[in-house]
Amino acid sequence: MRWFSFSGILLGAVSAQYTTNAWQAQDFKTLVAFGDSYTDENRLGYFGSHNGSAPPIGVHLGVSYKASTGGLVWPRYASIYTNSTLYNYAVSGAVCSNKITPRTWASINAPFPDILGYELPAYLADSKYISPNGTAFFTGTPSTTVYTIWIGTNDVGNNAFLTDSQVAGKVLTDYVDCVYHVVDGLYQNGARYFVLLNLAPLNLLPQYATPARGGLNTTQFFPDKQAFAGGNMTEISYRMLETVDTVNAIYAYRTPFETRVNATWPGANIANFDVNALITDMYANPEEYLNGTAPLNITGYVVGAGNISRSDRDSYLWYDELHPSEQVDRVVAREFVGVLGGASRWAKYW
């Protein structure tokens, strides 16, 4: 305990020496995104419609107007707000590494493509790709490109750590290690600006919430929920809360340790975006964020509300049992731009 307390004081002292002058939103012209369905536009759809084959090198998959939010997802909004080019490698259903928490996708009878095994290599290949006419596919530069990673919803969820379904011997720190391995792979390829989003408050989602908070007995994404923990929905919710809080505490200390104490990536700039605190604040104060025409709703979800207007949708915190609404993603994108500006109250910079 003494060592932990001392290291916390040390890291706090070190962080105070560093400024955020390097972060200016208008300087970023390119956004590269990695993650799962919270970030994916249509990459999983490509795999599904091509018998499990990956998109070819040097191909933009375009915009999806019906992603996990029922509309645009946050990185697309962020690219619009900043007038930047988006390269989105996220895959719905992904985890950081299939060597830790593989999850089978029935459509292809194989694990969902993960970040370490697919998304990162796909970007690295694209970053070096030159078309036959001599045009480079990737146009970003180290000083004008920011790389963002938001992963973990599937890693810590059902059919993974929540239900003790991870590879034998693997623990939560292996998942966090994977995220920083991705950072290392990007850094070795020239990346210098990173935004790491921590775990959302998954325990508040209809899929994992307590019954008092609208938690469901079963969902399309967790059909066998009743078989787990003896059907104790409260136990499931609090286990998720414990896991999320533990992982996010690791993130909070791991980034400053790697950048300032270990000096793992000289010249790199990393922002920890506390999206958990942001969405938790939306839950506690929905009137400050939601702006739909229906009564504000933080426990129900759009898909479960039947046929409602698009303007009504913006009154909901959740789109379905597992995913934030499009309005939430607009807010996340807006605050992400604030993170890029270097002075966000939701971020720490290293």
The answer for residues whose C-beta is within 8 angstroms of residue 303's C-beta and 6 or more apart is 70, 319, 320, 321
User: What is the pTM assigned to this prediction?
Assistant: 0.94
Cβ atoms within 10 A of the Cβ of 48, count?
Answer: 14
Q: Which domain CATH number covers 216?
A: 3.40.50
b/e burial code for range 185-194 (CB count within 10 A of at least 16 → b): bbbeeebbbb
Considering Cα of 84, then 274, then 199, then 322, what sign does the dihedral take?
negative
Task: Tell whether 99 is covered by a domain.
Answer: yes
Task: Tell whether 306 is covered by a domain.
Answer: no
Task: Tell whether 250 is covered by a domain.
Answer: yes
Task: Tell whether 205 is covered by a domain.
Answer: yes
Helices (H), the chain: 2-15, 43-49, 74-82, 120-127, 172-188, 233-256, 275-284, 310-313, 326-340
Can you say how many angstroms the Cα of residue 137 is from the centroid of all Cα atoms in its chain? 25
What pLDDT score does 54 carry? 97
Task: Tell whether 297 is covered by a domain.
Answer: no
Residue whose pair of structure tokens reads 């920011």 in the numeric block: 146
Amino acid, single-letter form, for residue 179: V
Residue pair 155/96 in contact (Cβ under 8 Å)? The answer is: yes
CA distance 174 to 179: 9
Residue span of the structural domain in which 229 resides:
20-281+327-344
Phi, psi of 31 (to 5 degrees): -125, 125
Can you say how many angstroms the Cα of residue 122 is from the centroid of all Cα atoms in its chain? 18
CA distance 343 to 341: 6
Task: Tell whether 63 is covered by a domain.
Answer: yes
Say how many domains are in the chain. Answer: 1
CA angle 275, 276, 281 (to 5 degrees): 95
Task: Tell whether 31 is covered by a domain.
Answer: yes
Q: What is the pLDDT along the chain (350 residues), one digit of tens a residue?
A: 223 232 333 333 333 334 457 899 999 999 999 999 999 999 999 999 999 999 999 999 999 999 999 999 999 999 999 999 999 999 999 999 999 999 999 988 899 999 999 999 999 999 999 999 999 999 999 999 999 999 999 999 999 999 999 999 999 999 999 999 999 999 999 999 999 999 999 999 999 999 999 999 999 999 999 999 888 999 999 999 999 999 999 999 999 999 999 999 999 999 999 999 999 999 999 999 999 999 999 999 999 888 899 999 999 999 999 999 999 999 999 999 999 999 999 999 99
Pairing state between β 104-105 and 85-88: unpaired
What pLDDT score does 232 carry? 95
Task: Tell whether 58 is covered by a domain.
Answer: yes
DSSP string covering 201-250, please?
Answer: -GGGSTTTS-GGGT--S-BTTBTTGGGSGGG-HHHHHHHHHHHHHHHHHH
Nearest to 145 by CA among 291, 31, 268, 222: 31
